Structures are given as structure tokens and as C-alpha cells.
Amino acid sequence: MLREDSALSDRVLSIDTSGVYYRDLNKMLREGVAKGAREFVLRGVTGQRYIGTGLVERVSIKIFGTPGNDLGAFMDGPSIEVFGNAQDGLGNTMNSGKIVVHGNAGDLLGMAMRGGKIFVKGDAGCRSAIHMKEYRDMRPTVVIGGTARDFFAEYMAGGEVVLLGLTLPPGVRHSCAFMGTGMHGGRIYIRGAIDPSKLGKGVIIQELSEPDWETVKARVAEFAAYFDMDAGAILSAPFVKLCPASTRPYGVLYAGRN
């Protein structure tokens, strides 16, 4: 499957992905792992889906171009770095590992994410961090440098999302409507102004506690390191925390009794 122009040296495998079908590309990655590659450099990526899906090794994948939908879906271990924009479904149901995007992300970023970390330099689309969850030491983290769109962190059940608003012009608020609708777990930290009328039902705004601040500082420091930014400047603006008013927002809707 691996083509002759795919050079494997020093356990680094470079692949020119132009015109390569997504199934063939993902087979190349799996075969590369089996042959001992620890780092992949994918060039000319144009829309191939599911890159990194199902990989459980701690390999690194550098992507140049525009990876397709469901990048890193169900991924369990690899580190992916995207030099470009990501499309929809980034980190869908991801289990562990890390994705860093030097650009924007599409809709459904971190959907149903169970663990691992995602850092996006720019904006994210609709339904980002929807239904993230956590269990014991599995605690997913999403940091978005810009703003996000409607249904941000809807049905959130666990983990943490940090929304930094760095792409918003002065005086413009985050405009995501239905933020945190149905949220019943997890933590949302937001830098920049929000419009309370756009909050989902059952979500309350709080000030950050000392442990919250420690978390935010650590996440922002990691974010700033990936994108060569000044963490101190980012942290100098106020943050708010959104949390669920109840852990069972719909407890009485169908069951009748909370």
C-alpha cells in the first residue's frame, strides 16, 4: 500500500497525499505504525476524512492542507497538528491524545469527546464541545482561541472548555446562541463578554474560584505555547464560568419526578 515516494527514515514517514483516497491514506498510516514509524508528515491534504481514527499508538501526525471531516475521531493516543483549517467533526468521540489546529475548526468540534485535548487557534463552528463527558481521570479539554457559534457546549456532561475570544473586535460579544443548553456537568470558562439572553436554559454564570483559575491558567499557558502567544496578556482580561444549575435538567420532563 505504501507508495515508493513515501519516505520512511528515522521513523518519520512523509506522505504526499494529493489524490489519495481517505481509506488508502488511513491504511498507509496503520501500515506505517506497524513498520515502526513514530511521526507522520502528511502534505497536500485535501478533505481526506477520518485521519488518525482508530489509531491507539502515541505517534505524531503533522498535517499540511485541509483535513476532512472527523479528523481524529475515536482517536486514542496520537498527537495531531494541523497547519491549516479543520473541517467538521474534529475529535469526534476522541478518547485520548491531542489535536492542535493552527487555524479555524468547523462544526461539532469535540463532539461527545471522552478524553484528550484540543487546541484551536482561531474560531470554531456550531455545536462545539457538544455532549463532552468525563469519567474519573478521563477529563477532556478544549481550548478555542477565537469565538464559537450557536449551541456551544450543548448537553455538556463533563470536561472543560475554554473560550478565549481573541478574534473578537473590541466591543463585540460572543454571539453563540443557546450556549450550554441542557448542560448537566463540566465547566465552561469564557474570556470576553457574553450576552446573557443567549445562554441556554439551566445555565448559570459564576465567578471563577481559585481552583478554576489554576485550571484556566494551565490551559491558557499550554495554548499560548502552541501558538507562540503571550499567556499573561490573555489572562489579563476577565473570565466568567458557566455551570449547570442542575445535574439533571430534564429529570422531571419524562420521568415525572426528580
Partner 1 sequence: MRNLDRITNPFNDDKVIANCGIFGVMNTAGGKMSGRDVIEAMANMHDRGNGLGGGFAAYGIYPEHPEEYALHVMFETQRAREETERALQEWFRIGAQEPIPTRNTRGIANAPILWRYFVEPLQEEAIPPTPDGAIALTPDDYVVDRVMVINTSIDGAFVFSSGKNMGVFKGVGHAEDIGTFFCLDEYQAYLWTGHSRFPTNTQAWWGGAHPFSILDWTVVHNGEISSYGTNRAFLEMYGYYCSMHTDTEVIAYATDLLVRKHGLPISVVAKVFAAPLWQDIDRMPSPDRETYTALRQVYGSLLMNGPFAVIIAHQGEMIGLRDRINLRPLVAGSKGDLLFLASEEAPIRLVCPDVERTWAVQGGEPVIGRLFEGIVEPGVDRSAVYEEPCIERFYGHKGQREVHSLSGMRAAM
Q: Closer to partner 1 at the Cβ: 6 or 85?
A: 85
Task: Tell the burial category of 163 from Cβ atoms under 10 Å away from its Cβ (0-12, 13-18, 19+).
Answer: buried
Residues 6+ apart with CB under 8 A from 89: 69, 70, 71, 73, 106, 107, 108, 109, 111
Q: How far apart are CA 205 and CA 242, in angstroms?
A: 5
Closest contact distance (angstroms) between CB of 87 and partner 1 is: 6
Assess contact for 53 and 77: CB atoms under 8 A: no
> Any idea which residue has 481517505 for its cell?
22
Q: Which is nearer to partner 1, 17 or 141 (CB)?
A: 17
Half-sphere exposure of 54 (CA within 13 A, CB side): 9
Residue nearer to partner 1 on the CB measure, 110 or 158? 110
Tell me how far apart the alpha carbons of residues 183 and 3 are, in angstroms, rounded to a whole number: 47
Q: Measured from the CB atom, is 22 or 40 closer to partner 1?
A: 22
Q: Which residues bind partner 1 (CB under 8 A)?
A: 22-23, 46-47, 49, 54, 65-66, 68-69, 85, 87-88, 104, 106-107, 123, 125-127, 149-151, 169, 171-173, 175, 177, 197
Q: Which is nearer to partner 1, 15 or 216 (CB)?
A: 15
